[in-house]
Structure 1
Amino acid sequence: MAIRKIVTYPAEILEQPCREVTKFDRKLGKLLDDMYDTMIQHDGVGLAAPQIGLDLQIAIVDIDDETGTIEMINPRVLETSGSQTGPEGCLSFPGIYGEVTRPNNVKIEAFDRRGRKYQLEAEEFLARAIQHEIDHVNGILFTSLVTRYLTEEELEGQDVEQ
């Protein structure tokens, strides 16, 4: 287990679209394992490769439900529908939270650690977390979508993507 250092804003890598992954090997599996351990260590529900300083289209999400850990390599959003507004934070913006409106439903396509393509549909909080992490690999930060910043007191008892 290797805990990686979280890159914080204003690091340039956070605002750049990342390179596609072309090699699906043991090294990639180790990186995904490290990303999971890092995310858990920092109490996150998602983590993207640029957040640990890597220019790669890799993201993971685990909202601690029956879905388990979702590993997304070279993810693309295929469809969205509906709308939801809720609180978001980000491990790369410690202590900053804001209200963000995103589609309520998302359908994505990505590859798993073995290079197998898959599609996934998600809704509500899981959809929010997936979209937040896919934004990261495209150089889009949640702060560009915030309609209102929130205080820690306003967050009490809410699910927060971070």
Structure 2
Amino acid sequence: MILPIVAYGHPVLRAVGTEIDKEYPGLEQLIADMWETMYNSNGVGLAAPQINRPIRLFVVDSLQIIHNLDEDEKKEYPGDEGIREVFINAQIKDLDGEEWAYNEGCLSIPKVREDVMRKETVTLTYLNDAFEPQEKTFTGITARVILHEYDHIEGKLFIDHIKPLKRTLLKRKLDDISKGKIRVDYRMLFPK
């Protein structure tokens, strides 16, 4: 089922997600719905807070980005083959490498894109969708998508990483989003 995506301004986007266990009600269906919602919205990642669930769960499919790069672009991200993975109760263990800029957007903040600086590499501990403990290191675009989604389960948004002046210049657009004065090709849940 395609779920509505929570728009900027909704308090759930600022909540730190709580950990879940395998008894979380309807978890398997929730994960399936998150994949369907993400693909329907043309996203590459989706965190549970974005569908109004304040829990530590997100999904990432960076394969679609990597597969669409030309050969020269792929050389810019050595070692990044892309992933399609579920992350439950993720915790960052290590951030490494140089910070680099990339123009990010977010399904909860439609039609706003800004350059965000993030580290090249992230190591996470998490549970996969079979609740098997994982510890993996990700790099390049995949690391960036993971860090973006990880921010959501920490109550942060990509705009928190941009300079205050830029945020001030975005205020009107952000206000319009929170008031529902925006059109997108997917269902949104606006703050009341």
The question of a shared fold, defined as TM-score above 0.5 by the shorter chain, is answered with yes
Contact 2:82 2:142 in 1 (8 A): no
Q: Secondary structure at the match of 2:123?
A: strand
Instruction: Measure the CA separation in 2 of the matches of 1:18 and 1:62.
Output: 21
- The residue that corresponds to 2:37 in the other structure is 38
- The residue that corresponds to 1:130 in the other structure is 146
- The residue that corresponds to 2:28 in the other structure is 29
Q: Give the superposed CA RMSD.
A: 1.6
- The residue that corresponds to 1:111 in the other structure is 127
1:1-162 aligned at under 5 Å gives the runs 2-24=1-23, 27-63=26-62, 64=64, 65=66, 66-82=81-97, 83-147=99-163
Q: Which has the higher helix share?
A: 2
Larger radius of gyration: 2
Residue 24 of structure 1: how far off its partner (Å)? 4.6
Residue 39 of structure 1: how far off its partner (Å)? 0.4
Moved more, 43-52 or 14-23: 14-23
Instruction: Measure the CA separation in 2 of the matches of 1:113 and 1:25.
Output: 12
Q: Secondary structure at the match of 2:6?
A: coil
In structure 2, the gaps of 5 or more residues are: 67-80, 168-192
Residue 67 of structure 1: how far off its partner (Å)? 3.7
Q: Write out per-residue CA displacement over residues 71-92 of structure 1, whole angstroms, 9 at most, x where no aligned residue.
A: 0000011111122111100000
In structure 1, the gaps of 5 or more residues are: 150-162
The percentage of counterpart residues that share the same residue type is: 32
Q: Secondary structure at the match of 1:94?
A: strand
For these two proteins, the number of residue pairs brought into alignment is 148
Q: Write out per-residue CA displacement over residues 90-119 of structure 1, whole angstroms, 9 at most, x where no aligned residue.
A: 000000111100011111111012211101
